[in-house]
Structure 1
Amino acid sequence: MISSYPLHHKTPRTPRRCSALTQEILTWHLVIEMFTLPQKDFSAPTTCLGPACMQDLGSSHGDDLEGECSRKLDQKLPELPGVGDSAMLSPDTSYLSSRGRMIKWFWDSAEEGYRTYHMDEYDENKNPSLSQSDMQRVEPSLLQYADWRGHLFLREEVAKFLSFYCKSPAPLRPENVVVLNGGASLFSALATVLCEAGEAFLIPTPYYGAITQHVCLYGNVRLACVYLDSEVTGLDTRPFQLTVEKLEMALREAHSEGVKVKGLILINPQNPLGDIYSPEELQEYLVFAKRHKLHVIVDEVYMLSVFEESAGYRSVLSLERLPDPQRTHVMWATSKDFGMSGLRFGTLYTENQDVATAVASLCRYHGLSGLVQYQMAQLLRDRDWINQVYLPENHARLKAAHTYVSEELRALGIPFLSRGAGFFIWVDLRKYLPKATFEEEMLLWRRFLDNKVLLSFGKAFECKEPGWFRFVFSDQAHRLCLGMQRVRQVLAGKSQVAEDPPPSQSQEPSDQCR
């Protein structure tokens, strides 16, 4: 970006004479028993005697495990399916990788009783709230394990929120919603449950480079790039335009290299291009994916940051009919549209219940605290404030900042791309490279950094043309003014000798900045 630096649980004692395998078997039996409902009086509310409800067990309870260890070995043990078991390859889970099937199996078995308990929870007297303030309310239920998909009250609000802002033709359903702690976790979880290690997703370039870390480091999944270029070949074309022909070419190339492709990642609005896919283009990409039985992950994290109405943004969830709804998975988060990246909230919407279940099972590692879930539900249901106050003001500020930086770039004679969405402008600085190499691109990036301007260079987005940079403009006017002053100095070949004068604190650029 253009930036100036300025229930404590008492754990039973494990008997020493149990081997590691015996301990594992015993642990599995305890899990099965803890989550099994009594075979009587099914009309009564469910009470929990599972791990979260064992605070009152005395330490002497652990002494009984030594005898239990030998007794359990005489009983028939449940078979733990392995990754390659045929039982896990049923048609119901054919959308998942072997890792995803195993993850889902644990959910379907060990979690069944826990889910049943939450559907009919025993509550002798309603527990009083610890705090009654709106966003800081703390109820005991928020401090307990919940459905790993997210508390139902939050998933209901997410479904309503997405139905409204994505303009879905029919109301979206809470059972298709999973909430996680951010978009990075969503990418990581989806890659893990959809792909085997070494398989790949197609992704058009340039793209937000951190996705490489999200899918590769966690799930060992590759990215097969669909390389786009800036060349305009006709009146109906635009720079870095994605077409089905380019998708087909990239898919063939991956297959020729022995790489199995399992899906396609689309970012809409696109980062770093600010590009917006039309409904017709989206339909074409989805039909391509269906033809090759590919999953499609659509990242719509900037969907509420479209500040030009003429841009004509449409969510994939607004389409009348998805070509392959069981392989179409939509992501959204509050990190960009609400500027709340530190809160770590992301949501997945998918009609594929196998995928939803497998991803939800990984929420053991990627879930949100109950307190954050409550706060998020409060935010998302405040539609009046979002529509009448927040979004109009946010769009106005984004548009003003975009206009200022665009005018500065035009005054410098620098080409750029931006379609009125997102926080960034894709800037063509190729004429400032002595040679068209990524080494020269890095040298230019380093000169910006040495002059206290942080930009993102094109290679980080897998752009195949050296010299493109991403300028982030979502900042206050006086900081943008200072940033653009430093950009001019670098491009003019001048390094800073003295500290910059303190900028005006005005929210509007000064006359000097204009």
Structure 2
Amino acid sequence: MLTGALAAVRQGAPTPATTPNDSPVSHLAHRSASLCTTNAPSASSSLSRPLSEAPATQAASTAESPKTTPPTSSQACKTAQHVLATLRLGETPGCSAYLSKRGNSIRQHQGILQEGYTQYHADRHHDTDNPDGIINMGTSENKLCYDLLHKRLTQPDMLDIDPSLLQYPDWKGHKFLREEVASFLSHYCASQNPLKADNVNAILIPTPFYGVITEDVHLYSEVKLFHVPLDCEATGKDSRPFHLTVAKLEEGLRRAKQEGLIIRAVILVNPHNPLAEIYTPKEMIAFLEFAKRHELHAIVDEVYMLTVFDESATFHSVLSMDSLPDPQRTHVMWGISKDFAMAGLRVGILYTENRDLVEALDQLGSFHGVPGPTQHQVARLLQDRDWVNEFLPENRRRLKTAHNYLTGELQSMGVPYLHRPAAFYVWADLRKVLRPKPSFAEELSLWRRFLRHKVVVSCGQAFSCSTPGWFRIVFTDQQQHLQLGQFRVCTYWGKHDPRTGQRGEQEDGNTRSQVG
């Protein structure tokens, strides 16, 4: 959800987080950018909240058709009644006389994966209470660092609640948090300068992408998404699977105009979800120059900024660049749910230099403000640099260990995957398992078979992937849970053909262990 502007001062020492009383924002803050916080319900806009990930969902037909590629235009946002009947196993709610047309549309909407997550929450695995329950390898949340977080979050300074925190706040966010976020991002983004704290016809977005964006921008604000499909195969010497280029963005923009759409923005996710791709500074500058050339807003999601676990890879934030091609149209999202492994703490940040946008967002802050005690805890956490500098390397070490375990298992099973150095998941290629030929109906059938074997993963059509057979598998869980989940997958993989239920064929010896 678009939320109130959270301004952070551009220069000067940050106000200590232990002093929650808000003095008037200084003249520097009036020149500042927006840092938007949100405490949002599930049907909210990812354009302003890089928050913990709900089940990745995408409204798309599950019925098999001759064309297996999902629509690339804004029509992908519409869900037909027969699709809803399929997803709800034949039970589609009728229209309510008490709701508007838009209200009924929201009530009747269900994403592809919701069926699985409903079953998961009713039958969650527990080591002792429910050992046969469902293992969740589909939701992108980090369960590796609870011990570190529990120790820090239960220290006395986290419980020091000033009376002002229990009263109506400045909806932009308390000044002490705005300043602390600005200080934190200035340091960890390696910013060259200290950071300062209308509906469009359509938004350009490369596919695959984090599936909930569709629900967020369409259900909440009725914004349309125009897809730019990325090829799952390398197409040339300097290409790689799912390679985003300026040429593909230009082609997508051209097709959108042919359909009569006016594109006003482009969404860029870096590190990427679900690919875990990291774009280089050169690539990001090229994308931002494309946006400037066509007067598009560039919405940059950097919510996985600090999850790069491979020492040979480096992430460069847009905020670290000396200058941006079009700073007034460049807006950066960040949050603590991924980098600090706290998906349940609902705080997201939007940074922008555009004061007009800051003022517009400020009008919506009262609807989605973050509770004062939560702001206090986040500010204290970010302010404790000694703890942060211990937590981040240990988190990366645990991410790498878990990633190595999962990818090792995939290699032993002969499953190709994208080998990428960031985030919480692996993008795996199961096209060979879809029989008689890859289709989105077969992909959904395989996903449901995994679910019946008590493992939740995420299928590619939930991310608007243009090629059926790709799955996102999350590895950020305790190893005993990953082992149990992989055992269940391997048991099914070795004994059953995904289509017929008969004993499956062995994979050929030429299967690549990595893709790209």
TM-score bracket, normalised by the shorter chain, equals 0.5 to 0.7
Distance 2:441 2:300 in 1: 33
Match of 1:424 in 2: 425
Match of 2:367 in 1: 365
Match of 1:30 in 2: none
Match of 2:172 in 1: 149
Shift of 1:340: 1.3
The SS at the match of 2:455 is coil
The answer to whether the aligner puts 1:137 opposite 2:160 as a matched pair is: yes
Distance 2:282 2:470 in 1: 28
Higher share in helix: 1
**Alignment check: 8 A CA contact 1:311 1:419 kept:** no
Matches within 5 A, 1:21-420: 133-174=156-197, 193=198, 195-196=199-200, 199-388=201-390, 390-420=391-421
**Alignment check: 8 A CA contact 1:432 1:491 kept:** no
Matches within 5 A, 1:11-26: none
Distance 1:309 1:329 in 2: 28
Distance 1:360 1:277 in 2: 31
**Alignment check: 8 A CA contact 1:455 1:470 kept:** yes
Give deviations 1:179-205, integer Å, cap 9, x for gaps: xxxxxxxxxxxxxx4x24xx1111111
One-letter amino acid of the structure 1 residue matched with residue 345 of structure 2 = L
The SS at the match of 2:287 is helix
The SS at the match of 1:416 is coil
One-letter amino acid of the structure 2 residue matched with residue 424 of structure 1 = Y
The SS at the match of 1:310 is coil
One-letter amino acid of the structure 1 residue matched with residue 310 of structure 2 = E
Shift of 1:249: 0.6
Give deviations 1:261-315, integer Å, cap 9, x for gaps: 1101011000000000000000000000000000011111101111112122111
Match of 2:481 in 1: 479
One-letter amino acid of the structure 2 residue matched with residue 203 of structure 1 = I
One-letter amino acid of the structure 1 residue matched with residue 251 of structure 2 = M
One-letter amino acid of the structure 2 residue matched with residue 217 of structure 1 = L
Distance 1:215 1:395 in 2: 31
Match of 2:466 in 1: 464
The SS at the match of 2:489 is helix
Distance 1:234 1:221 in 2: 34
Shift of 1:144: 2.4
Structure 1 unaligned spans of 5+ = 1-131, 175-192, 496-514
The SS at the match of 1:226 is strand
Shift of 1:162: 0.5
One-letter amino acid of the structure 2 residue matched with residue 164 of structure 1 = H
One-letter amino acid of the structure 1 residue matched with residue 158 of structure 2 = M
**Alignment check: 8 A CA contact 1:273 1:418 kept:** no
Give deviations 1:2-38, integer Å, cap 9, x for gaps: xxxxxxxxxxxxxxxxxxxxxxxxxxxxxxxxxxxxx
Give deviations 1:313-371, integer Å, cap 9, x for gaps: 11111111100000000000111111212110001110001111212221111110111
Distance 1:381 1:237 in 2: 42
**Aligned-pair RMSD on alpha carbons?**
1.5
Match of 2:20 in 1: none
Distance 2:495 2:260 in 1: 47
Deviates more, 1:140-149 or 1:415-424: 140-149
The SS at the match of 1:394 is helix
Distance 1:422 1:481 in 2: 20
Distance 1:312 1:142 in 2: 38
Distance 1:471 1:477 in 2: 14
Match of 1:108 in 2: none
The SS at the match of 2:480 is helix
Distance 1:236 1:253 in 2: 25
Shift of 1:143: 2.2
One-letter amino acid of the structure 1 residue matched with residue 353 of structure 2 = E
Q: Percent of aligned positions with the same letter in both sequences?
A: 57
Distance 2:217 2:382 in 1: 28
Q: Which structure has the higher relative contact order (CA within 8 Å, separation 6+)?
A: 2
Match of 1:37 in 2: none
Shift of 1:445: 0.6
Distance 1:431 1:244 in 2: 31
Structure 2 unaligned spans of 5+ = 1-154, 498-516
